[in-house]
Structure formats: C-alpha cells, structure tokens
Chain A
Amino acid sequence: MNNYLTVASIIFCIGALGVITRKNLIVVFMSLELMFNAANLGFVAASNYLNLISGDIFVIFIIVVAAAEAAIALGIAIAFYREKGTLDIDRANELKN
C-alpha cells in the first residue's frame, strides 16, 4: 500500500504544482482534477489493502463531486473569457487594495 500511496502523493504534488505555476485557466482546472484523482487512487489502494468497501464508495462520491466542480469551473471560465477575451489567469487583476 505504501507504494500506491507514494504514487498518489507524487500525482497530488504534480497537480498542486500545476495549480500554482500554470497560467492558463483550463490547465489549472486540469491540475485540480489531477489532485482529486490522486485522492481516488489512494482510496482505492487503501480500500483494497484493508479489504474494505468504504473507500471505494468514497471514490464514487468523489467522482460525482469532481464532475459537479468541473461544471462550475467551465461556467466560470466561459464568463471570464467573455469579459476578458483570454484565459490567462494573470488578467484576473481587477480586485486590488
């Protein structure tokens, strides 16, 4: 199980780095999905190792929630693109002190 969790942690870190460093909104959303899926991998591995079903159930819920989040994300991305004409995250700079 340790190996699976290590892989999941690596994927999670890649996703987190992607969210922090990428400038394109869609790539940021993809990185967020990567983070969620790293958690899925961890749950499936742990659930299999422990011979329990609860982790698998959690994974199904996570997939549903990730789909709902993707819907909101794309809605926000479209609204942002309509206003700015770009998906560059650095253009979100109107709210300042």
Chain B
Amino acid sequence: MHNMPSIYGMNFLEKSMLGIIPETVIIIFAFFVLFLAFFEKLAKRNNSYYLSLIGIVFSILYVLMLAGRNISGFYGSFVFNGFDAFLFIAILFSGLFTVLMSKDYIENSGMPAPEYYSLILFGLSAMMFLVSSNNLIMVFLSLEFMSICAYILTGYIKDNTRSTEAALKYFVLGAFASAFLLFGSVFIYASTGRLNLYGIHSFLQNVSYLGVAGSGGSIGIKVYISAGLILFLIGLAFKMSLFPFHSWTPDAYDGAPTPVTNFMATGIKLAAFAIFLRIYSLIYDFNVMNFNDILWLLAVFSMTFGNIAALLSTNIKRLLAYSSIAQAGYILTGIIGGGFYGYSGTLFYLLSYIFMTAGAFSVVIIFENSNLISLDIKKYSGIGYKYPFIAASMSFFLLSFAGIPITSGFMGKFYVFSSAVKSGYNWLVIIALLNSAFAAFYYIKIIVKMYMPDKEPAAASSNSSVQGNIPEIAGGAIDEGIMITIIICLILTLFMGIFPQIFINFANNSAGFLWRI
C-alpha cells in the first residue's frame, strides 16, 4: 500500500479521516476528560463536566460543517452522508442532555466524575460509529463498544445494590443479544461471502437478477440469508427493546443512574434503530423473506405489552421504561410502512422522541431523593402548585408521549401511521391508534396526580404536613444544566409540533440517502 489512491487531490487516509472527524473529536475529548482523573485538584471541580460539554458542541459544529458531503472511507467500512449527519446531530443532542443533567447527580452519588463523563463520551462516539458503519465487522465492534460503555455506566454507583443488579441483568441479556447478532453475521457471511453492507446489497441484486435461488451447498442461499437476517434482527431487537426481547429494559432503566437511563433510552435506542433502518432498507427490496410480517407482530406486541405494563407500574422510571417499549413499537410502524415516507417519518419520530424523553427524565432527576431510588408516582401529587413550571413542562412531555396535537409526538405519530396506511397496513394502524388512546390514560394519570393532590391526607392532617409530602428538590435549587435541558426540550417539542415542515424536510433529505449507494 505504498501508493495510496488519490481522490480529488486528497489521499486515501485524508479522505477517510474526513468522514470520522466528529467521532474523533469526541474520542479526543474523552481522553482529555479521562486524564483529568490523574490530577486531584482538576478532578474535584466541575472541569470534566465543562470539558465534555465543549467536546460535544465542537462535534456538533463539525457535523454541521460536514453535512451535505458524501464520504465513504476506509475501503467502504464507513460512510458519511445526509442520513448520518441527521442522526449524528440527534445522538449528540442526546449526549448533550445526558451530560447536562448529570452534574448534581454524580456529585450526590459520591462517585468520581471524570471517568463517568469520559464513558459517556466514548459511548457517544461508539453510537456515531455504529450509525455510520457500513461493514458487519464495524457494526459488531461499535455495537459492543457502545454496549460495554453502557454496562459500566449502568453499574456506576458502586455500593448501590440496585445499580449493580441492573448492570448484571443488562450485561447478561446484552451479551446474549450480541451473540445472536454475531451468529446472524456468520450466516450472512457464509451465504454471500461479503461483510460490506453495500457488497451484500449488490450480491442480493445479482442473485435476484439471475434468478438463482440455491447455489451455496445443499441448503439454498435464501434459507441461509433468512436465518442470518432473523438472528441479526433478534440481536438488534434487544437493543431496540422490542417485545419478546424487552425483559432487561424495565430493570436496567430502573436501577441505572437516571442520566444513564436517559442515555440508554435516547442514544442507544436511536443508534440501534438507525443501523436497523440502514440494513433493512438495503435488503428489503429483494424479498428475501417476508420480514414485514415478523416486524408487524413485534410492533403490535411491543405496543400492547408496553402500554399494559406501564399502566400497572407505580414507579416513574419503570413507567417510562415500559412506555419506551411501546414507543419502540410505534417507531417500528414507520419502518414497516417503509418507502421514502415511512423512513423519513421514522427519523422524524426518533428525533422528537429524544426531546420528549430527555425532558421527562430531567424532571424525574429533579425529584429524585438522595438515596437514588426513583420516586413512586404517588409522590408527584401536588407538585403542580409548588413547582408550576416544572410540572407544566412534565405535563407537556407526557402529552407529547401520548400524541396530543401541537406536540411533536402527534406529528411523529401522524407521519409514521400515515406511511403505514399508504402501504396498506390498515390493521396495524388501527391497533396502534387504539394503543395510543389507551396509553394516554396512564400519561394523563400522572398529570392528574400532579395537579390534583389526593384529598385524603389533606383532610386527615394539617396544611403543613401536606407541604411535607411534596418532595423537596435536592439542594434547594434546581441545577441550571437540568433547567437548560428542560427548556431546550420544551421549545423543540413545541416547535416540532407546530412547524413540523422544517424538520420533516431534514428527515426527507436524510432518508433519501438510504438508497444512494
């Protein structure tokens, strides 16, 4: 490799590196933050917090600079195009919110800060690598990188049994899922002989063009590829927390530190959906097997199960976890709907989902007590009078989850469901609509709790003891990072609900890149 091929005046390495600048920036800052741990004086102040914020902002700027380019680097292992630019921005925003809401939480937990922030940054870079990876090796490596960061972060509160247990459950099921994904790659590789996703695409194109069904030994290629893709799908479905593979979700979300829960609910889910979308859009045309039927079942069961379980749960973090299973079902509806509008609707929904979820979790953090056990829903009663702004924004996020008009959740559901109707999945949409009506019940239950405190304790005791029931904010004042997060999420949720055209244009642009090879 003495003579690197030169492309447009840049050599191979320069051109390849250009595509991974945003990830590289994040990794460099992650190492800087990690080095802070060596110096006691530097580690004690909030330097690592500010440094990671700066890193994420720099990375966002680099993504904006690169947006519009179409780069394929490292012999096709990576691609960077409009699709990646959109998802990079979304993922970086999820990381930004996670860092912003972590400051007080990590201080209260008594755990060292630099390692925590550097793990978040490493996890972010892994998510970005996962989104832009175009090779089965890269998909596996970045998925594992991302998951390992998430396992450590889940168990980060060392002496907390809940945190350790969550990490244990998450690890066992996460590694189980990775093994499935890996074994799926074996079958895909054995039948096609390629690891590059575009290579697999062109292989399938040739096979379907020639009409050859079986040429790979006694069992046909079609069977091998179908088996591989199903195993691959199972592996990703764990990360997307779809119904039969969801069992880790409530436990891991509940036991993990709340900022990390936000990181899992937004970033990891986003990255898993993104890579699923990329692979699915490449293989869908060839009708290897009827995948949409499988996804149909997964979507319906995820929605129904998630909503029923959320209705029955009394812990706010578990409720949000089950609701995120249901949301994954709605997002999957867009992928089933398919085509250009289905995928752009899915991207729009994913973007709006990030802002709603980050907003809801930052409100949860505010009212968390010092022993890091998340609150019972009952304790939210009466918050509406003591903290009107926070309660109002929480209500808004919950209404957005439920899909009430003028929120981004409504527009997201509208785009996703209309694309499914266009493709003729009427029953799926009917079930999804029934589910969202049903889901509104438990979201509104929390809002009612916040604004209409239970009458009985007020009648039984004096006024001052009612005041005592309302959870105090730790430290007396709300951390400005959390406040910034809530305000950004509020503005964007509202904005995406009222002027969806701007954002759907971005989503359309990026969805168009899914087929541009």
Q: How many residues of A contact B (CB 8 A)?
A: 45
A61→B136 CA distance, assembly (Å): 11
Q: Do the beta carbons of B186 and A80 come within 8 Å of each other? A: no
Q: Name the B residues within 8 Å of A49 (CB-CB).
A: 190
A85→B137 CA distance, assembly (Å): 39
Interface string of A3-32 (1 = CB under 8 A from B): 001001100100110010000010010001
Interface string of B158-186 (1 = CB under 8 A from A): 11011011111101100110110011011
A32→B144 CA distance, assembly (Å): 14
Chain A 80-97 residues near chain B, CB threshold 8 A: 80, 83-84, 89, 92, 94-95, 97
Q: Do the beta carbons of B175 and A39 come within 8 Å of each other? A: no
Q: Do the beta carbons of B182 and A36 come within 8 Å of each other? A: yes
| Cβ-closest chain B residue relative to A60 | B137
A52→B136 CA distance, assembly (Å): 15
A69→B314 CA distance, assembly (Å): 34
Q: Name the B residues within 8 Å of A92 (CB-CB).
A: 165, 168-169
Q: Name the A residues within 8 Å of B377 (CB-CB).
A: none
Q: Name the B residues within 8 Å of A19 (CB-CB).
A: 172, 176
A28→B174 CA distance, assembly (Å): 13
B437 within 8 A of A: no
Chain B 342-385 residues near chain A, CB threshold 8 A: none
Q: Name the A residues within 8 Å of B171 (CB-CB).
A: 72-73, 76
Q: Do the beta carbons of A43 and B189 come within 8 Å of each other? A: yes
A76→B172 CA distance, assembly (Å): 10
Nearest-neighbour CB distance to chain A for B494, whole angstroms, equals 33
Given contacts A62-B140, A79-B164, whether A97 and B182 have CB atoms under 8 Å apart is: no
Q: Name the B residues within 8 Å of A1 (CB-CB).
A: 190, 216-217
B250 within 8 A of A: yes
Q: Do the beta carbons of A61 and B162 come within 8 Å of each other? A: no
Q: Name the B residues within 8 Å of A84 (CB-CB).
A: 161
A1→B193 CA distance, assembly (Å): 13
| Cβ-closest chain A residue relative to B224 | A5
Interface string of A26-47 (1 = CB under 8 A from B): 0010001001101100110111
Q: Name the A residues within 8 Å of B168 (CB-CB).
A: 25, 76, 80, 89, 92
Nearest-neighbour CB distance to chain B for A31, whole angstroms, equals 9
Q: How many residues of B contact A (CB 8 A)?
A: 48
A5→B186 CA distance, assembly (Å): 9
Given contacts A54-B195, A72-B171, A95-B162, whether A2 and B186 have CB atoms under 8 Å apart is: no
Contact of B151 among A5, A32, A46, A76 (CB under 8 A): A76
B218 within 8 A of A: yes
A8→B186 CA distance, assembly (Å): 10
Nearest-neighbour CB distance to chain B for A93, whole angstroms, equals 8
Q: Do the beta carbons of B190 and A42 come within 8 Å of each other? A: yes
Q: Do the beta carbons of A58 and B218 come within 8 Å of each other? A: no
Q: Do the beta carbons of A76 and B219 come within 8 Å of each other? A: no
Nearest-neighbour CB distance to chain A for B191, whole angstroms, equals 9
Contact residues of A: prevailing secondary structure: helix
Q: Name the B residues within 8 Å of A72 (CB-CB).
A: 148, 151-152, 171
Most chain-A Cβ atoms within 10 A of its Cβ — which of B183, B193, B194, B250? B183
Q: Name the A residues within 8 Å of B155 (CB-CB).
A: 76, 79
Nearest-neighbour CB distance to chain A for B160, whole angstroms, equals 9
Q: Name the A residues within 8 Å of B185 (CB-CB).
A: 39, 43, 58
Nearest-neighbour CB distance to chain B for A18, whole angstroms, equals 11
Q: Name the A residues within 8 Å of B219 (CB-CB).
A: 2
Chain B 41-95 residues near chain A, CB threshold 8 A: none
Given contacts A65-B144, A95-B254, whether A46 and B186 have CB atoms under 8 Å apart is: yes
Q: Do the beta carbons of A15 and B179 come within 8 Å of each other? A: yes
A40→B189 CA distance, assembly (Å): 12
Q: Do the beta carbons of A69 and B175 come within 8 Å of each other? A: yes
Nearest-neighbour CB distance to chain A for B73, whole angstroms, equals 17
A65→B140 CA distance, assembly (Å): 9
Chain B 248-264 residues near chain A, CB threshold 8 A: 250-251, 254-255
B313 within 8 A of A: yes
A39→B231 CA distance, assembly (Å): 12
Q: Name the A residues within 8 Å of B216 (CB-CB).
A: 1
Nearest-neighbour CB distance to chain A for B451, whole angstroms, equals 25
Nearest-neighbour CB distance to chain B for A49, whole angstroms, equals 8
Q: Do the beta carbons of B183 and A42 come within 8 Å of each other? A: yes
Given contacts A28-B172, A62-B140, whether A95 and B166 have CB atoms under 8 Å apart is: yes
A94→B166 CA distance, assembly (Å): 9
B294 within 8 A of A: no
B318 within 8 A of A: yes
Contact of A32 among B137, B152, B176, B312 (CB under 8 A): B176
Contact of B179 among A5, A36, A47, A95 (CB under 8 A): A36
| Cβ-closest chain A residue relative to B312 | A97
Contact of B313 among A45, A52, A55, A97 (CB under 8 A): A97
Q: Do the beta carbons of A62 and B182 come within 8 Å of each other? A: yes
The 8 closest A-B pairs by CB, nearest first: A42-B186, A35-B179, A46-B190, A39-B182, A95-B251, A50-B193, A92-B165, A65-B144
A residues with CB within 8 A of B? 1-2, 5, 8-9, 12, 15-16, 19, 25, 28, 32, 35-36, 38-39, 42-43, 45-47, 49-50, 52, 54-55, 57-58, 61-62, 65, 68-69, 72-73, 76, 79-80, 83-84, 89, 92, 94-95, 97
List, sorted by A's number, 21 A–B pairs whose CB atoms are closer than 8 Å: A1-B190, A5-B187, A19-B172, A28-B172, A32-B172, A36-B179, A42-B186, A42-B187, A54-B189, A61-B137, A65-B144, A76-B167, A80-B164, A84-B161, A89-B172, A94-B161, A94-B162, A95-B165, A95-B250, A95-B254, A95-B255
